């Protein structure tokens, strides 16, 4: 945590950096996990990670296949919406990879990080009233003790914990990555 004397503008910049970076990290992790399974890799014990579809000849071919496995609403910029665990699960399940047990565990995590973090990322990317209002839904649903600004919400703690929302989310995303490693 930052010292209490840290200027609010600096706190806001740091929280914005962490929130957007965390969502990007998760998105890229899921994408690369799929590609490694699709293109042929080994697990941490050196055993090949197989899939029922077969190894693709290129990243483009694997991504084209993945795009065909999800609906248009589950895509963003011509690829599956990797950051959404349900979409990631759907693609990985269709691939029928031997690495699927970890993905199943992630899809069962009881976290709101995956669903709520995009609203905060959008606020920091656009900084408008409309995106700020979407973050207030999270605050009211989860009884976050904080001020009204999205940065205050992420720095605040839920009524059920002493950790800030952003700290909880970082822990949850780290746990999701650890489950699939």
DSSP 107-158: HT---SHHHHHHHHHHHHHH--HHHHHHHHHHHHHHTEES-SSHHHHHHSEE
Which segments of the chain have a pLDDT < 50?
none
pLDDT at res. 1 = 65
Per-residue pLDDT reduced to its tens digit, 24-38: 999 999 999 999 999
> What is the model's pTM?
0.89
Q: Report domain extents, the chain.
A: 8-180
């Amino acid at each position: 945590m930052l010292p209490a004397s840290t200027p609010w503008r600096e706190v806001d910049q740091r929280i914005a950096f962490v929130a957007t970076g965390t969502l990007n990290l998760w998105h890229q992790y899921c994408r690369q996990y799929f590609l490694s399974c699709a293109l042929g890799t080994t697990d941490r014990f050196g055993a090949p990670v197989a899939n029922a579809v077969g190894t693709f000849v290129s990243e483009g071919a694997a991504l084209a296949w993945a795009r065909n496995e999800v609906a248009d609403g589950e895509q963003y910029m011509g690829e599956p919406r990797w950051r959404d665990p349900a979409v990631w699960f759907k693609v990985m399940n269709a691939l029928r990879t031997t690495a699927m047990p970890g993905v199943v565990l992630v899809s069962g995590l009881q976290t709101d990080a995956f669903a709520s973090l995009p609203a905060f990322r959008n606020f920091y990317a656009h900084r408008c009233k409309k995106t700020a209002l979407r973050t207030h839904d999270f605050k009211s649903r989860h009884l976050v003790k904080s001020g009204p600004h999205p940065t205050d919400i992420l720095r605040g703690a839920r009524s059920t914990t002493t950790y800030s929302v952003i700290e909880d989310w970082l822990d949850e995303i780290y746990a999701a990555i650890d489950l699939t490693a």
